[in-house]
Amino acid sequence: MSFYIASSPHHHQRRTTAKLMQWVLIAMLPGFLAQLYFFGWGVILQLLLAIAVALAAESLCLLARDRAPSTGLQDNTAIVTAALLAVSIPPLAPWWIIVIGTLFSIVVVKHLFGGVGHNIFNPAMAGYVVLLISFPVQMTAWMPPTGLATQAPSFIDSLYLFLFQFTSEGFSLEQMRRVDTGAMLDAVVMATPLDHLKTQLSQGATLSEAMQHPQFTGLAGMGWQWVNLGYLLGGLLLLQQRIIQWHIPVALIASLAFCALLGSILAPDYLPGLSIHLFSGATMFAAFFIATDPVSAATSSKGKLIYAGLIGVLIYVIRSYGGYPDAVAFAVLLANLCVPVIDQYTRPVTYGHRKEQG
């Protein structure tokens, strides 16, 4: 009889990084298809260009580090980063937006910190924040969802808007973003549900008055609620396949839901309720696909609960009192900064060692 001796941990998940990333891409499909249906062809254009730029940047960085690109590209991490960023920005944002964001995510946030497994920030969210701060107009130019748009752009028009910001007939993106409200004005420029609420509330309107806009149907807003449900479905698939654990999604959603319920009780006329916070922005996308990044998140089970709970609270605080309607990216990056401290006090002590005092 022979014994195989190995170092801990002794329980292994027999899946490569490439396989795990493939499952993440598969799980994104329901939410991606919902975005494609409600927001048009620009979603595909952003995705294709982001992947192309990510693969090229990854190859160049690997060559600069004396590593074979053919080996480094096989883990699919660059493709996942590109996909996460592509679905986060407005579908018809100009092409150079996704190029800049993807280059920053891959070159600066990922490779300048040492490559796969060494980045302290979520690459996609870091790239998103750089774009949002640098180009706020382009990064808030969302199209109206299907059903509200006065004229939905065709594939050719979407391609022209993506490349030149004008359709083949000369209409600008601003003109294409107009939606009929049924009010005295013929149309207004479209804003996301969270952006619309924040703007109206800052101008003195009550929550009920702000929600008279025709986009507020069903749970939390035409199109957006189905996108969130799509990412929720994909997230449940990741849980079922044990690609992620339950701690981060549950803690993030629970903490945000608690804050939303408390706010709706204390100030029902001015603070949006539960359904708005869970299904209007990028909450489900963040809970299952962003905050669960294994590199930049906390490592222990207790640490994950604290880390994700912090993200949920930060999302609510920034949405309600900050200057950005959907605060997911900022909340995640701030929580990433706290991970070393969270791990310091929550990571289990190795047997036979004394816990270090920080």
- Check residue 82 and give left, alpha or beta (phi > 0: left; psi -120 to 50: alpha): alpha
Residue range 190-201: average pLDDT?
80
What phi and psi values does residue 80 have, to the nearest 5 degrees?
-65, -45
Tell me the pLDDT of the chain averaged across its residues: 87
- Rounded to 10°, the helix 77-86/42-64 angle is 140
Each residue's pLDDT tens digit, 252-278: 999 999 999 999 999 888 888 898 999
Supply the pLDDT for residue 195: 85
- In the chain, what percentage of residues exceed pLDDT 70? 89
What phi and psi values does residue 288 have, to the nearest 5 degrees?
-105, -25
Q: What is the pTM of this model?
A: 0.89
Each residue's pLDDT tens digit, 123-179: 999 999 999 999 999 998 888 888 776 677 889 999 999 999 898 888 888 877 776
Each residue's pLDDT tens digit, 70-85: 777 888 999 999 999 9
Supply the pLDDT for residue 183: 46
Cβ atoms < 10 Å from Cβ of 259: 21
User: If pLDDT is split at 50, 70 and 90, which confidence band does 286 have?
Assistant: very high
229-246 per-residue burial string, b: 16 or more CB within 10 A, e: under 16: bbbbbbbebbbeeebbee
Supply the pLDDT for residue 186: 40
User: If pLDDT is split at 50, 70 and 90, which confidence band does 2 have?
Assistant: low
Each residue's pLDDT tens digit, 209-219: 888 877 777 77
Q: Is 97 helix (H, G, I), strand (E, B) or coil?
A: helix
On whether the CB atoms of residues 28 and 87 are closer than 8 A, the answer is yes
What phi and psi values does residue 142 have, to the nearest 5 degrees?
-80, 140
Residue 228 included in any domain: yes
Range of the domain at 340: 191-344
Residue 196 included in any domain: yes
Residue 14 included in any domain: no
In the beta sheet, which residues pair with residue 166? 172
Number of folded domains that form the chain: 1
On whether the CB atoms of residues 305 and 251 are closer than 8 A, the answer is yes
Residue range 87-112: average pLDDT?
96
Q: Is 8 exposed, middle or buried (0-12, 13-18, 19+ CB in 10 A)?
A: exposed
Residue 2 included in any domain: no
Supply the pLDDT for residue 86: 97
In the beta sheet, which residues pair with residue 188? 179
Supply the pLDDT for residue 7: 46
Residue 307 included in any domain: yes
Residue type at 324? Y
Rg of the chain taking only CA atoms, in angstroms: 21
CA-based angle 288:131:316, to the nearest 5? 45
